[in-house]
Amino acid sequence: MDIKKRLHNLSRQFGDSKVTLVAVTKTFDAKVVLQAYNAGHRDFGENKVQEMVEKAEVLPGNIHWHMIGHLQRNKVKYIAPFVHLIHSIDTERLLNEVDKQARKAKRVIDCLLQVHIAEEDTKFGFSYNEVRELIDSAIPTQLEHVRICGLMGMATNTDNEQQVRAEFKKLHKLFTEVKEKHFSGMPYFNKLSMGMSSDYKIAIEEGSNIVRVGTLIFGSR
């Protein structure tokens, strides 16, 4: 497989829109990541702490590591020294733990709040109202070592394009609402992470500016 070509083709489709492509490397080993790195790619996504730590240890230090999977509080400390963006903040307690570990690591860690937008109830994330409540509370401003930079969501795994589009549209609307109400004048609140191999085109049409794509680049797992 030609990873370089696939990365290139994907990026080209984004056109002039500023979309960050997070190449999802979960289950693929460091050698595969290095191929993409050598093709010039720098943003990589993992869904397991141990896998991310193991790869980060053997790969170049200027990689941007994105945590995209469910994150357990007791494991935050392992990634706090180096993680670039955590997409999957799904409880207030997790946000507090990231703040604590970021303080220890003398960093400010960028985070997205994961919003439950899919029909399935197995997926993690805040409800729309939980996001509003958390942002309305003083909590985000009290935390000095995390920066809430936006929202993340995963659409229902379905062939029904209209449904996927509606879910993305609704998340974009919440993103705009929260941005205008609570983050106006804070340019860092500008990240909307939605879309994967099966639905990234729809996601970008609906306002996503970070897509997390694995299968289309590296093949099926």
Q: Which of 105, 197, 201, 207 binds ligand PLP (CB under 6 A)?
A: 197
Gap between the terminal Cα atoms of the chain: 14
State the Cα–Cα distance between residues 69 and 134, nearest whole angstrom.
Answer: 21
Residue 214 makes contact with ligand PLP by CB under 6 A? yes
Q: 């093949």: which residue's tokens?
A: 219
Q: Which is nearer to ligand PLP, 102 or 196 (CB)?
A: 196
State the Cα–Cα distance between residues 111 and 151, nearest whole angstrom.
Answer: 8
DSSP per position, 131-158: HHHHHHSSHHHH-SSEEEEEEEE---SS
- Of 13-21, 59-67, 75-83, 192-200, which part binds ligand PLP (CB under 6 A)? 192-200
Residue 156 makes contact with ligand PLP by CB under 6 A? no
State the Cα–Cα distance between residues 55 and 201, nearest whole angstrom.
Answer: 29
Residue 113 makes contact with ligand PLP by CB under 6 A? no
What's the closest the beta carbon of residue 44 comes to ligand PLP, in angstroms? 12
Q: Which is nearer to ligand PLP, 109 or 143 (CB)?
A: 109
State the Cα–Cα distance between residues 162 and 98, nearest whole angstrom.
Answer: 36
Residue 24 makes contact with ligand PLP by CB under 6 A? yes
What's the closest the beta carbon of residue 11 comes to ligand PLP, in angstroms? 15
Residue 26 makes contact with ligand PLP by CB under 6 A? yes
What's the closest the beta carbon of residue 79 comes to ligand PLP, in angstroms? 15
> What x/- string results for residues 50 through 89 when contact with ligand PLP is judged by CB under 6 A?
------------------xx--------------------
User: Do residues 196 and 202 make contact, with C-beta atoms less than 8 angstroms apart?
Assistant: no
For residue 61, give the DSSP letter.
T
User: Do residues 155 and 198 make contact, with C-beta atoms less than 8 angstroms apart?
Assistant: no
> Which residues bind to ligand PLP, rule: CB under 6 A?
24, 26, 47, 68-69, 154, 196-198, 212-215
